[in-house]
């Protein structure tokens, strides 16, 4: 069964549909999936035709990795981050998703869209939508956990939006030190500068990461970039 459009386009269509007819995102996703000939969105995304980039990314992650996942808006980077956290058990880890960009209802809708029931007591992913999310907040929350963690933070460019927080560069260094010392894995979702849209490049790369404040990007061991349903892996120098 061939999809009428790439899956990231179908997600975008569902988001517009949800706004247009005032329904929850997971309901709109199911409607789009039915139009594509599937029983539901979870059925669509589990189809062999639609292998998620989360799986090949997970296969490349190792203890102590600080990872960057970058894409322009609408390319599915947040959904990918949620799926990484939700699939953490595949690496014998507990998944954590920290976000300053979404509320609990938004996150629940997005989890539902990838076939994860956020209300289930069996759900392995821990969601934190606190306004206090920062490197110190993440580390202090994880310090009390004995189980190995896979952490996803949404997103890099707003970690220092509070003036009381350390600089972005200092926070990333703190996270790097923590994951190396604890053996945790941390994936940071990142914006890509809008200049990429006019660059004519096939895929974004490290030079396209939007940096409103200075940061040494060499701290990231691995970088993954998404665009038009494709994914590119770059190993840190």
Q: 90 and 43 in one domain?
A: no
Q: Is the pLDDT of residue 169 over 70?
A: yes
User: Do 99 and 134 lie in a common domain?
Assistant: yes
Instruction: Tell me the percentage of the chain whose pLDDT exceeds 70.
Output: 92
Same-domain status, 109 and 14: no
Same domain for 37 and 69: no
- 40 with 67, same domain: the answer is no
Instruction: Assess if residue 208 is contained within a domain.
Output: yes
Q: Does residue 125 register a pLDDT over 70? A: yes
Interstrand relation of 222-227 and 230-235 (parallel, antiparallel or unpaired): antiparallel
In the prediction, which pLDDT does 31 show? 94
Helix (H, G, I), strand (E, B) or coil at 6: coil
CA-based diameter of the chain, in Å?
52
Mean pLDDT of the chain: 89
pLDDT value of position 148: 94
| 45 domain-assigned | yes
Element (H, E) at 180: helix 168-182
Q: Residue range 99-119: average pLDDT? A: 82
Q: How confident is the model at residue 214 (pLDDT cuts 50, 70, 90)?
A: confident
* Cα–Cα distance, 164 to 32 (Å, whole number): 43
Residue 1 lies in a domain: no
CA dihedral of 91, 93, 131, 73, whole degrees rounded to 10: 10
* Whether residue 229 has pLDDT greater than 60: yes
Of 63, 147, 138, 156, whose CA–CA distance to 98 is shortest? 138
Place 122 in a pLDDT band, splitting at 50, 70 and 90: low
Three-state DSSP state, 141: helix
Higher pLDDT, 136 or 55: 136
Query: Taking residues 74-86, what's their average pLDDT?
Result: 91
Statement to judge: residues 64 and 107 lie in one domain: yes
Q: Give mean pLDDT, residues 186-201.
A: 96
**Left (φ > 0), alpha (ψ -120 to 50) or beta: where does 65 sit?**
beta
CB-CB neighbours of 63 under 10 Å: 13
How much is the average pLDDT of 82-89? 92
**Predicted confidence (pLDDT) per residue in 22-79, tens digit:** 999 999 999 999 998 899 988 887 775 556 678 889 999 999 999 999 999 988 899 8
Instruction: Report the distance separating Cα 187 and Cα 134, nearest Å.
Output: 14
Rounded to whole angstroms, the Cα distance separating 74 from 33 reads: 18
- Residue span of the structural domain in which 19 resides: 7-50
Q: In the chain, how many H helices and how many E strands?
A: 8, 7
Predicted pLDDT of residue 88: 93
- Distances from the Cα of 41 to the Cαs of 10, 103, 109, in angstroms? 10, 22, 12
User: Does 38 share its domain with 62?
Assistant: no
- Rounded distance between C-alpha atoms, residue 227 and residue 99, angstroms: 22
Supply the pLDDT for residue 44.
82
Residue 119 clears pLDDT 90, i.e. is over it:
no
- Number of structural domains the chain divides into: 2
Confidence of residue 235 (pLDDT cuts 50, 70, 90): confident
Full DSSP string of 35-51:
HTT-SSHHHHHTSGGG-
**According to the model, what pLDDT value does residue 4 have?**
80
- The two structure tokens encoding residue 140: 């202090």
Quick one: 203 exposed, middle or buried, by C-beta within 10 A (0-12, 13-18, 19+)? middle
Region 173-192: mean pLDDT is 97
Opening angle at CA 159, ends 154 and 215, nearest 5:
105
- In 3-state terms the chain splits into helix, strand, coil percentages (rounded to 5) of 45, 20, 40
pTM of the prediction? 0.80
């Amino acid at each position: 069964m061939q999809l009428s459009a790439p899956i990231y386009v179908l997600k975008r269509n569902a988001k517009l549909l949800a706004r247009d007819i005032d329904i929850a995102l997971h309901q709109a996703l199911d409607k789009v999936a039915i139009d594509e000939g599937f029983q539901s969105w979870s059925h669509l995304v589990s189809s062999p035709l639609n292998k998620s980039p989360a799986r090949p990314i997970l296969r490349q992650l190792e203890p102590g990795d600080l990872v960057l996942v970058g894409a322009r808006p609408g390319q599915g980077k947040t959904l990918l981050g949620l799926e990484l956290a939700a699939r953490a058990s595949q690496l014998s880890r507990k998944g954590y998703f920290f976000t300053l960009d979404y509320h609990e209802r938004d996150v629940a809708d997005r989890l539902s869209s990838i076939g994860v029931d956020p209300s289930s007591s069996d759900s392995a992913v821990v969601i934190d939508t606190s306004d206090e999310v920062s490197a110190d907040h993440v580390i202090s929350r994880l310090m009390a956990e004995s189980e190995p963690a896979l952490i996803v933070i949404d997103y890099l460019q707003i970690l220092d939006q509070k003036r009381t927080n350390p600089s972005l560069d200092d926070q990333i260094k703190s996270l790097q030190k923590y994951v190396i010392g604890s053996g945790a894995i941390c994936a940071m979702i990142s914006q890509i500068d809008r200049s990429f849209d006019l660059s004519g490049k096939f895929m974004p790369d490290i030079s396209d990461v939007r940096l409103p404040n200075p940061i040494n990007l060499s701290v990231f061991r691995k970088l993954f970039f998404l665009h038009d349903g494709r994914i590119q892996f770059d190993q840190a120098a």
